[in-house]
Amino acid sequence: MTVPVPSSASLDVPRHAASDTSDTSSTNDGGDDGWEDVEPEDESQSIIGLFSDDIYPDVRSLLKDTKERYSFDLAKVQKDLELDFFGTVKLINYIRSEVKKGVQKPDVSSRSLFDDDVYLKPVIEDDALLYNLDDIALDDDGLQSENHRKTDTEAQLREVQEELCRLQEQFSNYRLAVQQSLNVQLSNDDDDPPQPTNVDRNDARRSITEEVDSDYFKSYSYNAIHESMLKDTVRTDAYRDFIYDHKGLFKGKTVLDVGCGTGILSMFCAKAGAKKVIAVDNSSIIEKARVNVFANGFGDVITCIRGKIEEIKLPVPQVDIIVSEWMGYGLLFEAMLDSVIWARDRYLAPGGLMVPSHATLRIAPFADPDFVDSHVSFWRNVYGFDMSSMLESVHNEAIIAGTKTSSVVGDSAVFLQLPLHTITVEELNFLKTFELTIAHDVPRLDGWLIWFDIFFLTSPTAKLKNGALPWELRKEGLVAFTTGPFGPETHWQQCVLLIQPEGEKPVPLQKGQVIRGQIGYQKKKKDARALDIEVRWSIDDCSSSRHQTWSLQ
């Protein structure tokens, strides 16, 4: 997970179920304001064919002709693939895009062929078929169910279109905002004047911690962060593939989803056959998750609960499986793993399964002059102005960015293994050793690169081989992924630690030189979500060593 925080103007305004706002039978005493976009139903709206430019007066005519002329039964495909509203939208846009390419018989054997969100975007502007999806599944007598009115379909489609119009830049703005918010809160904590008593001092610190926590959970109330995570196919596909490929592990089981967000992982588990899923989140996103759960027919399986896992009471004494997407930048930023471990120790039954089961942290030597120029030299000339004052802490702040494989100038080393079934919170503050070998000559060492790998093993007793690589396990049919530069980019990207230069002349490194050192993670405060990352290192056992600390916040 990541931590964007939206602007204060939009705080605490969760969107609720569509049924709360879309009753078109009610009157509007305030006049016509707010209803400009609602157009009267046009029963004679023409519909363009799927495989031709032919025009049809209604959906039934299109379905009949398409079946007879092109041997394609749209209603049957929808039913066989168990497509919901969004799935049907994707199917139609997929078919139209394939036909546009010249494919006369698009392959619709699996929903995975058109599961990409790109197919939510209409191929034809104002496609009337998309506004009449409920007509595809008519009762035998040709009458529609009262639960599937056209106005609901239009409202859903408008919502899809609104989501497609959101700018990706919003995610970056949110992330910057939360960093600034955490900085202010933690700075206030450090600068607090002495309090009259220990009780008052503890109350003040507790209040600040609660405010930081409040900002953290509010940040997950907004669509942009969840959109970013769901569109991270490396992340989401891994969870989906593990759950669907191992339905035997989930069938008839009770599952706890810690930090459920939109409810996607809970619904994966329910569809895989879980008997009961308890979805927990302390953000108001839980309200949308509830709507998602019921909209997809899982209301009798999934129970959504709002609150911190440490403070709520589950409706069951134990669970068989805990699933959670708890990972932050540099793996441990946000400290959400603390809550997952608490849930494991409190609720997971003996022999229960953690999903994912293992994580590893890696470090590698980093050299990239262009990257340094874009983040350091940049400040010396900004539109012709000298802004060198911004360089004051530039080498003390961890940078989250996607990096090139060529910037990794040596082998990587695992410095921490996290077996999720046994790891403790105390082990998340650490100082570990590492050893790296330079792969080729470089003019200087610019910094360190940190990333993590995630593994989904099927047994609580399964051991992860030391130094295991995700692509090696995938060859064995297991599910795993990397957030490093050698794999597809994820929303976590990598953590870059730029080294403060020493002296005026850079020190070149040669192929084969060995770097030995220690790396440590330390929470800034006991209950903080930010981290300090410390690295100590020396080259070729040189008597002089270097030491630097970076903040990830």
Other C-beta atoms lying within 10 Å of the C-beta of residue 191:
7
280 pairs with which residues across the strands? 258, 305
- Alpha carbon distances (Å) from 10 to 5, 7, 109, 211, 218: 10, 6, 43, 17, 10
Inter-residue contact 304 to 289 (CB < 8 Å): yes
> Which residues are identified as catalytic?
325, 334
Q: What is the pLDDT of residue 303?
A: 96
pLDDT surpasses 60 at 465 = yes
Q: Which residue has the higher pLDDT, 207 or 277?
A: 277
Angle ∠(275,277,279) on CA atoms, nearest 5: 175
- 199 contacts: CB under 8 Å, gap ≥ 6: none
Average pLDDT over residues 141-168: 52
Inter-residue contact 441 to 511 (CB < 8 Å): yes
Q: Which residue has the higher pLDDT, 421 or 178?
A: 421
Inter-residue contact 347 to 319 (CB < 8 Å): yes
> How does residue 527 score in pLDDT terms, banded at 50, 70 and 90?
low
Tell me what percent of the residues of the chain surpass a pLDDT of 90. Answer: 54
Q: Which of 24-33, 184-193, 306-315 has the lowest mean pLDDT?
A: 24-33
Angle ∠(160,165,167) on CA atoms, nearest 5: 130
> How does residue 33 score in pLDDT terms, banded at 50, 70 and 90?
very low
The number of CA neighbours under 13 Å toward the Cβ of 150 is: 17
pLDDT surpasses 90 at 524 = no
Q: What is the pLDDT of residue 194?
A: 46
pLDDT surpasses 90 at 87 = no
Angle ∠(418,424,430) on CA atoms, nearest 5: 70
Average pLDDT over residues 219-229: 57
Q: What is the pLDDT of residue 530?
A: 81
Q: Which residue has the higher pLDDT, 180 or 389?
A: 389
Instruction: In the chain, count H helices and then E strands.
Output: 14, 17
Average pLDDT over residues 344-356: 97
How far apart (Å, rounded) are the C-alpha atoms in residues 411 and 437?
Answer: 6
> How does residue 152 score in pLDDT terms, banded at 50, 70 and 90?
low
> How does residue 163 score in pLDDT terms, banded at 50, 70 and 90?
low
- 66 contacts: CB under 8 Å, gap ≥ 6: 49, 50, 51, 72, 73, 74
Q: What is the pLDDT of residue 346?
A: 97
Average pLDDT over residues 521-541: 83
Please return the burial class of 109, using the count of CB atoms within 10 Å of its CB with bins 0-12, 13-18 and 19+: exposed
How far apart (Å, rounded) are the C-alpha atoms in residues 459 and 452?
Answer: 21
Q: What is the pLDDT of residue 526?
A: 59
Amino acid making up residue 548: Q
Out of 22-26, 392-396, 419-423, 470-474, the most confident range is: 419-423
Q: Which of 52-66, 99-113, 152-166, 431-445 has the lowest mean pLDDT?
A: 152-166
Q: What is the pLDDT of residue 528?
A: 67
Average pLDDT over residues 124-136: 84
Q: What is the pLDDT of residue 553?
A: 78
Strand (E) or helix (H) holding 341: helix 336-347
How far apart (Å, rounded) are the C-alpha atoms in residues 53 and 44?
Answer: 17
- 337 contacts: CB under 8 Å, gap ≥ 6: 326, 327, 418, 423, 425, 428
Q: What is the pLDDT of residue 280?
A: 96
Q: Which of 117-126, 203-212, 255-264 has the lowest mean pLDDT?
A: 203-212
What average pLDDT does the structure give for the chain? 81
Average pLDDT over residues 395-405: 92
**What's the pLDDT tens digit per position in 171-221?**
445 555 555 555 555 555 444 444 444 444 445 444 444 444 444 444 444
**Residue carrying structure tokens 């900085």:** 183
pLDDT surpasses 90 at 444 = yes
Cis preceding linkage at 356, omega within 30: yes
Strand (E) or helix (H) holding 416: strand 413-419
Q: N- to C-terminal Cα distance for the chain? A: 14
How far apart (Å, rounded) are the C-alpha atoms in residues 273 and 492?
Answer: 30
According to DSSP, residue 205 is labeled: H
Average pLDDT over residues 366-377: 92
Q: What is the largest CA-CA distance in the chain?
A: 88
* Domains of the chain with bracketed CATH: 43-164 (no CATH), 167-219 (no CATH), 225-325 (3.40.50.150), 358-552 (2.70.160.11)
Angle ∠(154,116,295) on CA atoms, nearest 5: 45
Q: Which residue has the higher pLDDT, 512 or 232?
A: 512
Inter-residue contact 219 to 225 (CB < 8 Å): yes
Q: What is the pLDDT of residue 426?
A: 94
Average pLDDT over residues 419-439: 96
> How does residue 353 score in pLDDT terms, banded at 50, 70 and 90?
very high
Strand (E) or helix (H) holding 251: none
327 pairs with which residues across the strands? none
Q: Which of 360-374, 490-504, 521-535 has the lowest mean pLDDT?
A: 521-535
- Alpha carbon distances (Å) from 102 to 42, 46, 69, 105: 31, 23, 17, 9
Q: What is the pLDDT of residue 326?
A: 93
Q: Which residue has the higher pLDDT, 186 or 328?
A: 328
Q: What is the pLDDT of residue 504?
A: 73
Q: Which of 198-202, 222-226, 350-354, 444-448 has the lowest mean pLDDT?
A: 198-202
Q: What is the pLDDT of residue 221?
A: 44
